């Protein structure tokens, strides 16, 4: 009896986690952009790390319901660490430096996650914002190490895996960012479709009820916050490595606020929101900045206001429509896909 | 030492006038208004135009700044903010950040991005000494004006009919509605009044805090710290918090300039860890 239930749960989880045609199309398009749009690789690189950063916010906002105004803290830490590691030749290999930066950001995320557990939305806003501001102030106050307000210059990034040199057209950096994004996306996808991801959704829906069915709410929140901080750190490190520069700007409030906009444009809670949002945001920013170089922030603000006034649900409809269509296609094309085994533990 | 105390109190009083409107609107509607600083900036720039360009006396500029900002606040509240009250906190944050970005860029466009100063009358410049304590005339003025305002606010809150309605609405909006209090009207009035106070604070503070288009972003954190540390259920909480933050910031920047900005952030985080509801708040009623 119990084993039948377990099998049923596993079957349902596997069905949720199945790859949809829309997803294949998305990643094929991303792959095609490497070969078809060589002249746009610089902006595509920016889109790739921004997408990873937004994915990181989606993990805590869309799946765990934590509003953060200070996600730039982890992004900035990763960015400075990657730049410092490369500058002083501590870890020359970019991929290894990327992982180290991400892990350090995760440590910061773990340490500050306990602050986020307490209090209301407003308290969380304040604490996350405060952490980012403190990080910025630290970076500002130790100019010997970070270069202070001038930024960290003279960073030379070694070739990736000792083979691929970064070029000024962004060909290598785009491929590099895209691969990192894809790998980390796969990992995030695995996590959110696991029983752990389900329990996060339960916590987001109603923390009290989640705890009464035996989910340890705080432990889950700490775990996902730390995990998301790792992603943000890696995104920051990608920025530092592809531009060979790090400045105080990486910690700025605007960065955290823009990130919220990116995620909201794409929609929260289905992983692709951050990626789609990053594409739209960067193209929009590029277009507006060409029209009015100095005042593009006004139009960004207007977009935010309009999105809220129109309603995020209604904005979300267009992605929802695409998803529903994709779902129907999946059902028609593949009526009975083989179930994927579910990892033991977690799903109590 | 006493001079620092004096400057700190002036700074704290100023923060209180700037932030008390925010604390009331937050407590009343549970509405996170990050754009509060934009109203302060509006007040500052209105005074600037009136005093520097139209040649009005400084003391005439202040009340006009108050009224004008209050009107702007009321207009925004009626046309835009009303749609967002029932939304989630995330929506409110996005909405008000959008407003901040727009106000920053718009002021930049109209007034230029450089820092500006309001011409204050020569009577208010300089400082004098009482018992060996250096007292800046302008700071003394700020303390006097803000002190009077605080007393007036406290009196309005505690002993007028509107004040008791407001307190009832903050304590429990649902029950207040049930008793026939028009909470939305109370809120509109309070919002306008709070915006007006912010505008006045912006005009007064231009000399001390500086005035440039990024004002709302720079001081947003300070306002929020005052509100979160002070709690939202009274005005004595934010008042005490403002003084604390003002003193800590001035003293921190004077004694340990290297750690200047850390001091208030650290205070904020410690307070939030120990008392998530704010330092002076009662247990949440909602």
pLDDT tens by residue, A321-338: 666 666 666 566 554 444
The answer to whether residue A192 neighbours chain B at the CB level (below 8 Å) is: no
Do B108 and A294 lie within an 8 Å CB cutoff? Answer: yes
Residue B242 has pLDDT above 50, yes or no: yes
Write the CATH number for A307.
1.10.3470
Return the HEC string of chain A. CHHHHHHHHHHHHHHHCCCCHHHHHHHHHHHHHHHHCHHHHHHHHHHHHHHHHHHHHHHHHCCCCCCCCCCHHHHHHHHHHHHHHHHCCCCCCHHHHHHHHHHHHHHHHHHHHHHHCCCCHHHHHHHHHHHHHHHHHHHHHCHHHHCHHHCECCCCCCCECCCECCCCCCHHHHHHHHHHHHHHHHHHHHHHCCHHHHHHHHHHHCHHHHHHCCCCHHHHHHHHHHHHHHHHHHHHHHHHHHHCCECHHHHCHHHHHHHHHHHHHHCCCCCHHHHHHHHHHHHHHHHHHHHCCCCHHHHHHHHHHHHHHHCHHHHHHHHHHHHHHHHHHHHHHCCCCCCCCCCCCCCC
Q: What is the pLDDT of residue A340?
A: 40
pLDDT per position as a tens digit, B173-188:
888 888 988 888 888 8
Number of domains observed in the structure of chain A? 1
Looking at chain A, the whole-number percentage of residues with pLDDT higher than 90 is 32
pLDDT at residue A124 tops 80: yes
Interchain CB distance below 8 Å, B259 and A125: no
- Whether residue A71 lies inside any domain: the answer is yes
Q: What is the pLDDT of residue B42?
A: 92
pLDDT band at A107 (very low <50, low <70, confident <90, very high): very high
Nearest CA in chain A to B105: A298
Mutate which: B93, B224, B279, vs A, most A CBs within 10 A: B93
pLDDT of A20-46, one tens digit each?
Answer: 888 898 999 999 888 888 888 889 999
Domain extent, residue A163, equals: 2-333
Predicted pLDDT of residue B6: 84
pLDDT digit string, tens, across residues A143-200: 888 887 788 887 888 888 877 888 878 888 999 999 999 999 999 999 998 889 889 9
Shortest Cα distance, chain B CAs vs residue A163, angstroms: 43
Whether residues B272 and A123 touch (CB distance < 8 A) is answered with yes
Interface contact B93-A118, CB threshold 8 A: no
Q: Which residues does chain B have within 8 Å of residue A122's beta carbon, measured at their own beta carbons?
A: 26, 32, 89, 228
Flag whether A346 is in a domain.
no
Residue B283 scores a pLDDT above 70: no
Q: What's the pLDDT score for residue A346?
A: 35
A150 within domain boundaries? yes
A345 domain residue, yes or no: no
Beta carbons of A301 and B95 less than 8 Å apart? no
Assigned domain for A54 exists:
yes
pLDDT digits (tens, 9 = 90+) for A216-242: 899 999 999 999 999 999 999 999 999
Mean pLDDT of chain B: 84
**Which pTM does this prediction carry?**
0.85
pLDDT of residue A186: 94
For residue B70, pLDDT over 80 is answered with yes
Cβ distance of A118 and B101 shorter than 8 Å: no
Which residue of B19, B110, B224, B272 is the best one to mutate when testing the A interface, meaning the one whose CB has the most A CBs within 10 A?
B272
What confidence tens digit (pLDDT) does each residue in A255-274 have? Answer: 898 899 899 888 888 889 89
Decide if A110 is inside a domain: yes
Residue A343, domain member (yes or no): no
Q: Computed over its alpha carbons, how large is the radius of gyration of chain B?
A: 18
Q: What is the ipTM of this complex?
A: 0.82
pLDDT at A279: 93
Whether pLDDT at A74 is above 90: yes
Beta-carbon separation of A137 and B261 below 8 A: yes
A279 falls within a domain: yes
* pLDDT at A315 > cutoff 70: no
Q: What average pLDDT is seen over chain A?
A: 84
């Amino acid at each position: 009896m119990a084993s039948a239930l377990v099998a049923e749960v596993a079957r349902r989880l596997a069905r949720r986690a199945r790859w949809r045609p829309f997803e294949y199309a998305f990643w094929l398009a991303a792959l095609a952009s490497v070969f078809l749009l060589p002249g746009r690789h610089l902006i595509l690189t920016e889109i790739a790390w921004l997408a990873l950063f937004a994915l990181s916010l989606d993990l805590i906002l869309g799946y765990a319901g934590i509003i953060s105004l200070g996600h730039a803290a982890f992004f900035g830490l990763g960015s400075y660490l990657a730049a410092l590691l490369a500058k002083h030749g501590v870890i020359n290999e970019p991929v290894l430096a990327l992982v180290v930066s991400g892990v350090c950001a995760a440590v910061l995320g773990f340490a500050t996650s306990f602050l986020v557990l307490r209090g209301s939305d407003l308290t969380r806003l304040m604490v996350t914002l405060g952490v980012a501001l403190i990080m910025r102030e630290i970076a500002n106050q130790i100019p010997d190490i970070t270069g202070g307000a001038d930024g960290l210059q003279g960073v030379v990034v070694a070739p990736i895996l000792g083979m691929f040199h970064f070029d000024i057209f962004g060909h290598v950096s785009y491929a590099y960012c895209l691969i990192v994004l894809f790998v980390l996306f796969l990992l995030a996808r695995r996590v959110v479709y696991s029983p752990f991801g389900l329990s996060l959704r339960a916590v987001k829906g109603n923390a009290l009820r989640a705890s009464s069915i035996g989910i340890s709410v705080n432990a889950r929140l700490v775990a996902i916050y730390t995990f998301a901080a790792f992603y943000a750190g890696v995104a920051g490190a990608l920025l530092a490595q592809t531009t060979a520069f790090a400045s105080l700007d990486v910690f700025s409030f605007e960065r955290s606020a823009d990130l919220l906009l990116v995620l909201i444009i794409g929609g929260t809670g289905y992983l692709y929101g951050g990626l789609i949002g990053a594409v739209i945001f960067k193209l929009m920013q590029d277009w507006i900045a060409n029209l009015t170089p100095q005042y593009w922030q006004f139009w960004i603000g207007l977009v935010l206001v309009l999105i809220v006034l129109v309603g995020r649900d209604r904005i979300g409809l267009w992605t929802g429509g695409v998803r529903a269509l994709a779902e129907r296609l999946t059902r028609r094309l593949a009526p009975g896909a083989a179930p994927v085994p579910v990892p033991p533990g977690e799903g109590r | 030492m006493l001079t620092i105390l004096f400057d700190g109190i002036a700074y704290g009083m100023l923060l209180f006038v700037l932030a008390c409107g925010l604390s009331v609107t937050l407590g009343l509607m549970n509405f996170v208004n990050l754009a509060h600083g934009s109203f302060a900036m509006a007040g500052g720039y209105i005074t600037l135009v009136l005093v520097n360009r139209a040649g009005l006396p400084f003391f005439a500029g202040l009340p006009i700044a108050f009224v004008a900002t209050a009107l702007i606040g009321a207009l925004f509240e009626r046309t835009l903010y009303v749609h967002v009250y029932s939304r989630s906190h995330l929506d409110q944050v996005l909405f008000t950040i959008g407003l901040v970005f727009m106000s920053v860029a718009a002021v930049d466009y109209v007034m230029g991005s450089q820092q500006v100063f309001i011409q204050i009358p020569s009577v208010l410049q300089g400082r004098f000494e009482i018992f060996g304590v250096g007292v800046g005339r302008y700071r003394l003025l700020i303390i006097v004006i803000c002190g009077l305002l605080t007393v007036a606010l406290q009196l309005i809150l505690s002993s007028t009919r509107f004040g008791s309605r407001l307190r009832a609405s903050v304590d429990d909006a649902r029950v207040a509605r049930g008793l026939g209090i028009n909470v939305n009207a109370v809120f509109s009035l309070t919002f306008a009044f709070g915006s007006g106070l912010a505008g006045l604070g912006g005009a007064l503070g231009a000399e001390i805090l500086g005035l440039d288009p990024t004002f709302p972003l720079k001081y947003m954190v300070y306002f929020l710290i005052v509100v979160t540390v002070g709690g939202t259920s009274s005005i004595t909480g934010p008042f005490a918090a403002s003084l604390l933050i003002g003193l800590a910031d001035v003293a921190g920047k004077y004694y340990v300039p290297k750690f200047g900005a850390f001091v208030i952030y650290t205070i904020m985080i410690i307070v939030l860890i120990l008392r998530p509801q704010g330092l002076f708040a009662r247990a949440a009623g909602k």
